[in-house]
Structure 1
Amino acid sequence: MAYARHQSFYIRDKWFSKGLREVKRNSRFLLEEGSFEKIGLGKNMLEALKYWLLALGVINEIQKHGQRSHELTKLGNYFFENDKLLQKPETLAILHYNLVRNKEDQSTIFEWFFNVYKETSVSKPDLIHSFTTWVEQREPKAISEKTLKRDLDCLIQFYAKGPNENDPEDMIFSPFSSLSLIKVEKSGEGFDRIKKKSLSIENIGTLALYYVLLEYAENKKVDLISIDEILNGDFLWGKVFNFSRNKAVEALNLLAEDQKKPIQYVRTNNLDYIKVPKLSPTELLEVGVNEGVLK
């Protein structure tokens, strides 16, 4: 498991597009001396940018000509070509899902908070205590509480640090704040309440919801997914987006009406399932681009 590799910096507005552009131009950019000056960031910020691009699943680290370098993934290329400024909710929702999915074990705090931790409203001290206890039960070596607190602080800012309405030139906000997944309620120093929020379907986009279902089906090698799984299963809507049953059913009805690749309802052994078509997540994105969803 990995902790605090973000150097305490949540991703800033425009970092995503700058990072992808430079990696596409020069595969060694994030590793070269002086790159931080060229991109207009501090050294630690550049390290944070590299971390976020890897954790979001839009670049890979590879060995090239005996040297480490980076390349855009298929997902990174799609978003660079179609939404590098992160203006579409579908893009943000898919990237959020990638953090929660934690495929390369780089975003432990995101997986824990959204996929493991069940509370939807908690004081900050209790949240820190819960995360520390969870880590202690799983790590053979001690991880300092200061490190874990930095992870939680960064997670909260990642989703709650929005633009300054009084300063239109403020560029230090997180683009993921527009998802409104986390709300911070001030209640005295050190005792803020952290709340998970349930997103509207419009805030996520049906393309992103479909993408998550297809990823799940591909990883599990299934084409039938129960409604209960969608609500309670790991890395599915109930946990990743804090969906209620009513909202999940509403979204599934929209996907069932898809003109080209609809899902199907199936009832087996008195349980409700949906059947997803033979379609990969990558193919779904191609359909989305062709239909203008990500343009």
Structure 2
Amino acid sequence: MAYARHQSFYLRDKWFSKGLRSVEHDKRFFFNEFAFEQIGLGKNMVEALKYWLLAFNVIEERSEEGQKAHYLTELGELLYGNDKLLQKNETLAILHYNLVQNANDQSTVFQWYFNIYKETSVSKPDLLKSFVTWVGQNESKEISEKSLKRDIDCLIQFYTKKPDENDPEDVIFCPFSKLNLLKSEHSGEGYDTVKKLSSEVSSLGTATLYYVLLNHCVLHEIDLLSVDEIINGDLLWGKTFNFSRNKTIEALNILSNHEKYPIEYVRTNNLDYVKVPHISPMEFLKTELLKG
């Protein structure tokens, strides 16, 4: 598991496009001593940017001919060609899903908060305390509380740092605040209260939700999912996007009318299931993103 590799920097506006462009033009960009000058960021910010791109699974590190280099993944190439400025909520939601999925063991705090931690409203001190306790129970080595606090701080800023409406030149907001998945409010008692929010189906985009289902089915080699599992199962809608049963049913009804790949409702043993078509998640994503 990994902690505080973001150097305390959440992803800033335009960083994503700068990072993908830099790797596309120079596979060893992040190994360049003067990369920070080329991209116009501080050295620690460049390290943070590399971290985010790896955690999003849009770049990967490989060794070829004895040299390490970075390459755009299939998802990275798709987003670089279609939405490198992160203007579509669908793109943001897919990248959020990758953080929660934590497939490369880069984003432990995101996986923990959305997939494991059950409280929907908590004080910031108690949130940190819960994370420290969980890490202590699941790590064989000791992790400094300072690093874990940085993770909690970054997690909150990642989803709450909104643009300043009075400053069109504001560049320190985080694009992921548009997803409205988390809110932090000052309680008046000397600490902030952190709340999970449930975004609207239309805001996340049904393409994202379908992609998550397809990816889950491929990973587990299944094509049938119960509605209850979609609501309560790991790395599915209920946990990843804070979806209620009503929103889950709303989204499934929309997907059952998909023009090309409609899902099917199946009732077995008095339980509701959905049958998902056999299609590669990335192939589906390409057709959906290219439509818009």
Give the alignment of 1:76-87 within 5 angstroms.
Answer: 76-87=76-87
The CA distance in 2 between the partners of 1:256 and 1:71, in whole Å, is 36
The structural deviation recorded for 1:65 is 2.2
Report SS of the residue matched to 2:138. coil
Which position in structure 1 is the counterpart of 2:138? 138
Which position in structure 2 is the counterpart of 1:192? 192
Which position in structure 1 is the counterpart of 2:180? 180
Task: Give CA-to-partner distance per residue, 1:68-95, whole Å, 9 cap, x none.
Answer: 1000000000000000000001100000
The CA distance in 2 between the partners of 1:78 and 1:197, in whole Å, is 29
Give the alignment of 1:193-232 within 5 angstroms.
Answer: 193-232=193-232
Whether 1:104 and 2:89 are equivalent positions in the alignment is no
Whether 1:241 and 2:241 are equivalent positions in the alignment is yes
The CA distance in 2 between the partners of 1:246 and 1:165, in whole Å, is 33
**Could you tell me whether the CA contact under 8 Å between 1:182 and 1:195 is conserved in 2?**
yes
The CA distance in 2 between the partners of 1:101 and 1:245, in whole Å, is 21
Report SS of the residue matched to 2:273. strand
> What amino acid maps onto 1:31 in structure 2?
F
The structural deviation recorded for 1:164 is 1.1
Between stretches 63-72 and 43-52, larger displacement belongs to: 63-72
> What amino acid maps onto 2:107 in structure 1?
S
The CA distance in 1 between the partners of 2:148 and 2:102, in whole Å, is 17
The structural deviation recorded for 1:189 is 6.6
Which position in structure 2 is the counterpart of 1:15? 15
The CA distance in 2 between the partners of 1:6 and 1:31, in whole Å, is 17
The CA distance in 2 between the partners of 1:260 and 1:167, in whole Å, is 43
Give the share of equivalent positions with the same residue, in percent: 65
The structural deviation recorded for 1:61 is 0.4
Whether 1:67 and 2:70 are equivalent positions in the alignment is no
Report SS of the residue matched to 1:217. helix
The CA distance in 1 between the partners of 2:231 and 2:289, in whole Å, is 28
The CA distance in 1 between the partners of 2:275 and 2:60, in whole Å, is 32
The CA distance in 1 between the partners of 2:167 and 2:285, in whole Å, is 35
Between stretches 142-151 and 181-190, larger displacement belongs to: 181-190
> What amino acid maps onto 1:77 in structure 2?
E
- What is the count of residue pairs matched by the alignment? 292
The structural deviation recorded for 1:169 is 0.7
Report SS of the residue matched to 1:156. helix
For structure 1, the 5+ residue unaligned runs are none
Normalized against structure 2, the TM-score is what? 0.99
Report SS of the residue matched to 2:208. helix
The CA distance in 2 between the partners of 1:181 and 1:49, in whole Å, is 22
> What amino acid maps onto 1:188 in structure 2?
G
The CA distance in 1 between the partners of 2:88 and 2:231, in whole Å, is 24
The structural deviation recorded for 1:138 is 0.9
Give the alignment of 1:19-98 within 5 angstroms.
Answer: 19-98=19-98
The structural deviation recorded for 1:166 is 2.0
The structural deviation recorded for 1:29 is 0.3
The CA distance in 1 between the partners of 2:270 and 2:76, in whole Å, is 41
Give the alignment of 1:114-133 within 5 angstroms.
Answer: 114-133=114-133
> What amino acid maps onto 1:182 in structure 2?
L
Report SS of the residue matched to 2:96. helix
The structural deviation recorded for 1:190 is 4.7
Between stretches 140-149 and 90-99, larger displacement belongs to: 140-149
Which position in structure 2 is the counterpart of 1:264? 264
What is the RMSD of the two structures over their aligned residues, measured on CA atoms?
0.8
Report SS of the residue matched to 1:137. helix
The CA distance in 1 between the partners of 2:15 and 2:259, in whole Å, is 36
**Could you tell me whether the CA contact under 8 Å between 1:124 and 1:190 is conserved in 2?**
no
